[in-house]
């Protein structure tokens, strides 16, 4: 977390970091509905945007609407969210199944030219993004300086490198946001967003052609990145607004729950939580700890000398806003409720069997089943509930922080 000398508050470069979440991104849209007008009123509209997975889609949408008033930005975001229902995101399993079987069989028999890259076809999402985002406005807003940099994070399949595809009016940083990653200057387009949002196994990996030196196959940016805030700080952020969809607190200890037999769905939910949710919480903790140490009259100079000896810039205090569910299971429980109400009956299963099939395959009685479903619940009712949670948590932050920003850890949140 390197930095330049901090500027005055009215000149501060504000970054917005939007983390992964699949269908949970509705929570982020709800939070932004509250935060964007507040930030605009205080002259702190974000000019540096960094998104991962579903957050990458929102990053592109925000960049394309940065020239509009905050309220109109919110309206456009909600409109795009309304278009990302299941038919506009993934192909039905009944249409995808024959291809999955053929591709899997071809690999089984050594015919590697016809590879299986994911269970759900994501062509509808690519088409939705091409239409829902004004790409001309996106590029113009960066060229004109409305947005300084827009970055989306993806993971190289073969090498595991974290690549931050960045469209910027300034040269991208030479340093890397991850020990095994790098920035790549490019002109953002649909493939970069699709690559960032390609959850491994569920959605097919995506080939990116530009820039040429980073061409290759990519999956979800959350897969290998461990420091979600680092790209924003490397881009020069003085203040950070981070919006995630995992819990701000680690799960409570529950010895009884730990003894319940587990299945494939439990393992998948645990893996998704580790790569999608945990890194943001841990990175916020690191940021808060560094803020405290940097401000300490004794520790601060020691840290500065240590950084200088390594040829690195001194740490600085970076105020932040952190919005995420206080209860990490809330979205999972809501996903199960919506599933039972909208997808659990025989009639609804016949009409759209995909979620029911996934539910059964992954262990329908699993306590963590809602965790998995919440990433795939592209349902208007789930969107509405998740958005309300985001609005509630953003309003709570604004009420509890009259100056909006915080530097130290949040008490009782485990970081």
If you compute the radius of gyration of the chain from its CA atoms, what whole number of angstroms results? Answer: 21
With CA atoms as reference, report the closest residue to 412 among 331, 326, 287. 326
Residue 379 near residue 87, CB atoms below 8 Å:
no
d(CA 133, CA 125): 12
CA dihedral 60, 64, 69, 70 (to 10 degrees): -10
The number of C-alpha atoms within 13 Å of 224 and in the hemisphere containing its C-beta is 21
d(CA 188, CA 176): 19
Q: What is the pLDDT of residues 318-365, one digit of tens each?
A: 999 999 998 878 998 999 899 888 877 666 666 666 666 666 655 556
- pLDDT tops 90 at residue 225: no
Q: What is the pLDDT of residues 97-130, one digit of tens each?
A: 555 555 555 555 555 555 545 567 788 999 999 9
Give the C-alpha distances (Å, rounded to integers) separating 376 from 26, 229, 301.
12, 25, 48
Confidence class of residue 135 from pLDDT cuts 50, 70 and 90? very high
Neighbour tally for 273: CB within 10 Å? 18
Neighbour tally for 223: CB within 10 Å? 22
Q: What is the pLDDT of residue 21?
A: 86
Q: What is the pLDDT of residue 109?
A: 55
Tell me if the pTM is above 0.85. yes
d(CA 397, CA 58): 21
DSSP secondary structure string, 351-403? H--HHHHHHHHT-TT-TTHHHHHHHH---HHHHHHHHHHHHHHHHHHHHH-TT
Residue 177 near residue 231, CB atoms below 8 Å:
yes
| Burial category of 174 from C-beta neighbours within 10 Å (exposed 0-12, middle 13-18, buried 19 and up) | exposed
- pLDDT tops 80 at residue 68: yes
The encoded tokens of residue 177 equal 């946001």
The proportion of the chain whose per-residue pLDDT surpasses 90, expressed as a percent, equals: 52
How large is the angle between the packed helices 264-276 and 369-376, nearest 10 degrees? 60
Q: What is the pLDDT of residue 7?
A: 38
């Amino acid at each position: 977390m390197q930095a330049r000398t901090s500027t005055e508050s009215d000149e501060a470069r504000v970054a917005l970091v939007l983390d992964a979440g699949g269908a949970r991104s509705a929570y982020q849209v709800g939070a932004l509905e509250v935060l964007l007008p507040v930030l605009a009123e205080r002259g702190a509209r974000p000019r540096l945007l960094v998104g991962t997975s579903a957050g990458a889609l929102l990053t592109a949408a925000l960049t394309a609407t940065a020239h509009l008033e905050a309220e109109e930005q919110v309206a456009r975001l909600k409109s795009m969210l309304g278009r990302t229902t299941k038919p506009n995101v993934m192909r039905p399993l009944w249409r995808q199944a024959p291809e999955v079987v053929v591709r899997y069989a071809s690999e089984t028999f050594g015919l590697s030219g016809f590879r299986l890259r994911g269970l759900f076809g994501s062509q509808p999402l690519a088409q939705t993004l091409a239409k829902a985002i004004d790409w001309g406005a996106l590029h113009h807003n960066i060229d004109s300086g409305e947005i300084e940099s827009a970055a989306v994070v993806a993971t190289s399949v073969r090498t595991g490198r974290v690549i931050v595809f960045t469209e910027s009016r300034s040269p991208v940083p030479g340093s890397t946001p991850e020990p095994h990653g790098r920035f790549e200057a490019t002109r953002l387009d649909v493939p970069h967003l699709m690559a960032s949002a390609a959850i491994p196994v569920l959605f097919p990996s995506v080939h990116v052609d530009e820039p040429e030196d980073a061409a290759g196959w990519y999956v979800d940016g959350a897969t290998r990145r461990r420091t979600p805030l680092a790209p924003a700080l490397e881009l020069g952020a003085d203040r950070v607004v981070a919006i995630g969809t995992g819990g701000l607190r680690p799960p409570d200890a529950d010895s009884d729950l730990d003894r319940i037999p587990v299945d494939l769905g439990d393992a998948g939910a645990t893996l998704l939580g580790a790569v999608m949710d945990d890194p943001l919480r841990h990175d916020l903790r690191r940021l808060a700890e560094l803020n405290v140490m940097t401000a300490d009259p004794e520790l601060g100079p020691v840290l500065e000398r240590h950084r200088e000896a390594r040829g690195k810039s001194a740490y600085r205090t970076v105020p932040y806003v952190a919005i995420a569910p206080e209860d990490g299971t809330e979205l999972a429980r809501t996903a199960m409720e919506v599933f039972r109400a909208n997808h659990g009956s025989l009639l609804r299963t016949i009409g759209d069997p995909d979620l029911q099939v996934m539910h059964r395959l992954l262990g329908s009685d699993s306590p963590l089943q809602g965790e998995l479903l919440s990433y795939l619940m592209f349902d208007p009712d789930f969107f509405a509930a998740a958005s309300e949670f985001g609005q509630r948590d953003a309003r709570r932050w604004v009420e509890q922080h009259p100056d909006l920003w915080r530097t130290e850890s949040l008490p009782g949140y485990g970081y």
